[in-house]
Chains A and B, each alone.
Chain A
Amino acid sequence: MARAATSQRKVLNTALAWAVGFLIFFPILWTILTSFKTEAQAIASPPIFLNFDWTLENYAVVQERSNYMRFLWNSIIIAGGSTILGTIIAIPAAWSMAFVPSKRTKDILLWMLSTKMLPAVGVLYPIYLLFIKMGLLDSRAGLVIVLMLINLPIIVWMLYTYFREIPGEILEAARMDGATLKDEILYVLTPMAIPGIASTLLLNFILAWNEAFWTLNLTAANAAPLTAFIASYSSPEGLFYAKLSAASTMAIAPILILGWFSQKQLVRGLTFGAVK
């Protein structure tokens, strides 16, 4: 009896998990489906789910109108560059906070996180003026720096939480064997923390890929990533939902595939510290 009840609960939980998963994925599925409809089918009421004449016309129009590869390349450079740079800076910072804490460490961590609470538009003008003076406007280098700074608190927090799970005694043993600080971080700590670093890299790559305030406001023609590509298909006067959906699908496809193949690491990264 008890086994039957457990099995029933398992089925129920699985069904519930699938239902919630489908609910969360539905907007993405709907966007993908809409991208294969005509504009008239896209706005049809009641909405058409699967029973429509599938067309690739929207993708052809988007390909013809926009240089997708240039936007994609910019997204890869900006998201990848900011994530790697951020991680290089965050590893020593997280090391010092995890293994050599001072009485102010917690305050510093909280202060770092508090910078995320400031509405981005509040610092738009100062950053814009700095970018003009430094010649960084509409440059990939400028966006790499800005996105790295924006995501740095999250990277430090994630790595700090992960490093704290590594016993300090191992590092002490390495020191006793004559390891320098550099050796300790590079050859002892980093290899042990590789799963944590990987999930941090992945999550921050996704955050940087999806960032749409700075990437729209600090770029023009040269450094515009896929967020600008999507924005160019949104129109308040005219129904171009099918084309917008095609552009959105093309923009999210790379990150969706990356997320699909690395979901284990992602889940692990997102649940750091939740279960000990």
Chain B
Amino acid sequence: MKLANVLRAATAMSVITTCAAYAETLTIATVNNGDMIRMQGYTEDFTAKTGHEVEWVTLEENVLRQRVTTDITTKGGAFDIMTIGMYETPIWGANGWLVPLDDLSAEYDVDDILPAMRAGLSHEGTLFAAPFYGESSMIMYRTDLMEAAGLEMPDAPTWQFIREAAAAMTDRDNEINGICLRGKAGWGEGGAFITVTGNSFGARWFDEDWNAQFDQPEWAEALNFYVGMMEESGPPGYATNGFNENLSLFQQGKCGMWIDATVAASFVTNPDDSTVADKVGFALAPNSEGVDKKSNWLWAWALAIPAGTQKADAAKEFIEWATSKEYIELVAGNEGWANVPPGARTSLYENENYQSVPFAKMTLDSIQAADPTNPTVKPVPYVGIQFVAIPEFAGIATEVSQEFSAAYAGQQSVEEALEKAQAITNDAMEAAGYR
């Protein structure tokens, strides 16, 4: 009996000490956006389930990118989980900087992740980051202005229809611009938008031998079309407008149409912030007539574990919790289905409750229409729709988008901008050893 008691006590003690040792404090680097901030509010649920505490480091997107890049390349170990996007994940995964997520539990149901998201966050078939939410881009338009113009928005319009509708909706006297689009320099701002616009005109960044393609007629057509349409119907100073500037214009009723991230749908339909909340319709991003590629992108904010962390097991537990079906149900139960993180799981779009959210179907259709391995008409040697998944791209595309923004501002012609873009890109690719 005595021996049995001793054994019981020893077992109990070992369980207690194991649990105590197992409880970790995770440091998570993340961006400041609605879904991420909401997740921070539910951290207690994770702590109650696992015993692990969480410390959040929330930073602005560009600061976060610089901060986590410095840490991961030096194996600093400052963070146990990083919020990264589709651009970084395959590159960092290939470099061995991320812990592979190939042993997630059966309950997590990794096959439920939308195929486009899973492909974009994997390298050679191995998942390196789990999508917290995903987005594409689509048209948001004013139903009242469209009706007043005597037009009807098709589900899948062409650029030519968009230009015609924008001109019809423009009312300069009342400060209504037919269309608001990104023109701000930066690879993730105007650079991303003009890249997908280029795709929908059949343009591409590189041919199969990594030669820049800005000297091809498709780019000239795309850029001239964009500049022409914006001069006719865009807001003044569009060369410096990014997501936030256009969101502000749209919410104040100063845009007839806005083509941007699907995540904006929840902002423009929120009556607390938007003056046009009940007059917004959605449609797929356009393509040029005769081109079988739409101008929608694909992006995900995903959670990844840096290889330098000492707490990989606890970090995996967090990722499983934060990107699980249960988390979606937790948010839906407390804040309604319109506020759950979208674009990551197939089951969400099969849920009847979610199907009643006005922008749900269009978000899914836009995501499914995006193909990162086949972004434009002609074959390309890269993966990525609004970006090219190579480390050099961020620097090159930032410079190229600066040249394009200068053309939008009237500081140079479209032809000059394209010539410079061609030279910048080829020089950089040569220096990097691609050519």
* Chain A residues proximal to chain B, CB less than 8 Å: 38-40, 43-45, 65, 124-125, 128-129, 131-132, 137-138, 216-217, 220-222, 224, 228, 231-240
Contact = CB atoms under 8 A, between A and B. Distances in A.
B283 interface: no
Interface of B: 27, 29, 31-34, 37, 40, 55-63, 66-67, 70-71, 74-79, 188-189, 242-244, 247-248, 251-252, 254, 261, 263-264, 267, 272-275
Given A40-B272, A217-B67, A232-B32, A238 B267 contact: yes
Contacts of B37: 65
Contacts of A220: 27, 29, 55, 57, 78-79
5 closest cross-chain pairs (CB), A and B: A221-B55, A232-B58, A234-B60, A235-B32, A220-B78
Contacts of B274: 40
Given A232-B57, A236-B242, A237-B243, 5 more contacts: A132-B77, A216-B63, A232-B60, A235-B31, A236-B60
Contacts of A129: 74
A48 to B, nearest CB: 12
Contacts of A125: 70, 74
B76 A137 contact: yes
Contacts of A236: 60-62, 188-189, 242-244
A139 to B, nearest CB: 11
Nearest to B254: A45
Interface of A is mostly: loop
Contacts of A138: 78
Contacts of A240: 32
A151 B79 CA distance: 29
Contacts of B261: 237
Contacts of A45: 248, 252, 254
B161 to A, nearest CB: 27
Contacts of A234: 32, 60, 63
Contacts of A216: 59, 63, 67
A131 B70 CA distance: 12
B307 to A, nearest CB: 14
B386 to A, nearest CB: 14
Contact of A233 (B32, B34, B248): B32
Nearest to A221: B55
B267 A239 contact: yes
A132 B76 contact: yes
A231 B60 CA distance: 6
Contact of B244 (A124, A228, A239): A239
24 contacts: A39-B273, A40-B251, A40-B273, A43-B248, A43-B251, A45-B252, A45-B254, A220-B27, A221-B27, A221-B55, A228-B57, A232-B32, A232-B59, A233-B32, A234-B63, A235-B60, A236-B60, A236-B61, A236-B188, A236-B243, A236-B244, A239-B248, A239-B273, A240-B32
A228 B62 CA distance: 13
A235 B251 contact: no
B425 to A, nearest CB: 24
A63 to B, nearest CB: 14
A237 B244 CA distance: 6
Contact of B63 (A65, A132, A231, A237): A231
Contacts of A221: 27, 55-57
A220 B80 CA distance: 11
A124 B70 contact: yes
Contact of B78 (A43, A137, A232): A137
- Best-surrounded residue of A44, A235, A239 (most CB of chain B within 10 A): A235
A237 B267 CA distance: 10
A222 B248 CA distance: 35
Nearest to A216: B63
A38 to B, nearest CB: 8
B253 to A, nearest CB: 10
A128 B29 CA distance: 17
Contacts of B63: 216, 231, 234
A238 B34 contact: yes
B70 A231 contact: no
Contacts of A238: 32-34, 244, 247, 267
Nearest to A138: B78
B60 A128 contact: no
Nearest to A218: B78
Contacts of A43: 248, 251-252
Contacts of A231: 58-60, 63
A236 B77 CA distance: 26
Contacts of B56: 221
A128 B70 contact: yes
Contacts of B70: 124-125, 128, 217
B267 to A, nearest CB: 7
Nearest to B189: A236
Nearest to B41: A65
A64 to B, nearest CB: 9
Nearest to B79: A220
A69 to B, nearest CB: 15
A143 to B, nearest CB: 13
